[in-house]
Structure 1
Amino acid sequence: MKFHFQQLEVYKKAKLFHQSAKEIAASKRLESYEKDQLKRASFSIVLNLAEGSGRYTKRDRRNFFVITRSSVFECVAAIDVLKDDNIISQDDYANLENQADELSRMLYTMIKNLD
């Protein structure tokens, strides 16, 4: 691989999470704004990880990783509402929530290591 971030486990997991979110968005009857927001927020996780990894200072990298973690939270809020509205199943919700929890924990560790 040519880019360091592509080797990061958190990046690989972020791509899997984005794929899962896109599958939910494509397979369920969501409003267009719900589909768009879920896909954009999950894609933001992947992109901000890559962009933050390319920053030179710890402070700058940390800022991008904080933004990345916030996008994880945004996705969790979206799927929580979709679950409450009975648009996604409890199983789909649990799968995405577990993936998001793992990403959040990994990002938290990355952020703390940059303090």
Structure 2
Amino acid sequence: MVSLFFWIGKRVTTLLPIFFYHKLAQSLLTMGLGGVVTPPVQQLQVYQLAEKISNEIWFIVKKWDEFTKDTMGKQIVRSADSVGANIAEGHGRYSCQDNQRFVKIARGSLNETRHWLRLAYARNLLTQEQSDRLHPLLNELSPKLNAYLNSLKQKAKG
């Protein structure tokens, strides 16, 4: 087993074996607050749905003309991507309070995405079929985000 040495002032100090640190790091990555094992963010249904919506929007916007992509397209892709990104970032935080804050930001990004989709539809950039495909996904994600936020609040209470 290899030990790690480092300088403290004028002396060399031995740390615990690297193997121990590797196991500790693995444990910290899979454990949430209070030793509760938390699944990777990719296993959360709310994250999977946010990612699905984001990808749907990406492939729609990708077909728009350059002016529309450069103006409205970038905005809608950023807001849609932000939903999943904030869920992921909050999930990686060490406190429930931080995680809750990022879920609230994700909720705001979802509302912004809805705004851009309404404008895109009004400007004939979205077909009825595309709108019909996205609408139920967005309606499913809103309550899932709220449920996820409520579960984090319960987890923080005890």
TM-score, normalised relative to structure 2: 0.67
How many residue pairs are counted as aligned between the two chains? 114
In the alignment, structure 1 segments of 5+ residues that lack a partner are none
In the alignment, structure 2 segments of 5+ residues that lack a partner are 1-29, 31-38, 154-158
Q: Counterpart amino acid of 1:59? A: Q
| 1:100 lines up with 2:138 in the alignment | yes
Deviation of 1:75 after TM superposition, in Å, equals 0.7
Q: Give the percent of matched residue pairs that are identical in Structure 1 and Structure 2.
A: 27
Matches within 5 A, 1:1-115: 4-29=40-65, 30-115=68-153
Q: Distance in 1 between matches of 2:135 and 2:116?
A: 11
Deviations 1:30-62 (A, max 9, x none): 241211001111111121111010122222111
Bigger share in strand: 2
Deviations 1:55-82 (A, max 9, x none): 2222211110010011111111101011
If you compute each CA radius of gyration, which structure gives the higher value, 1 or 2? 2
Contact kept, 8 Å, 1:48 with 1:65, in 2: the verdict is yes
Q: Aligned with 1:72: secondary structure?
A: helix
Contact kept, 8 Å, 1:28 with 1:88, in 2: the verdict is no
Return the structure number with greater relative CO, CA threshold 8 A, min gap 6.
1
TM-score, normalised relative to structure 1: 0.89
Contact kept, 8 Å, 1:41 with 1:72, in 2: the verdict is yes
Bigger share in helix: 1
Quote the RMSD (CA, aligned, Å).
Answer: 1.6
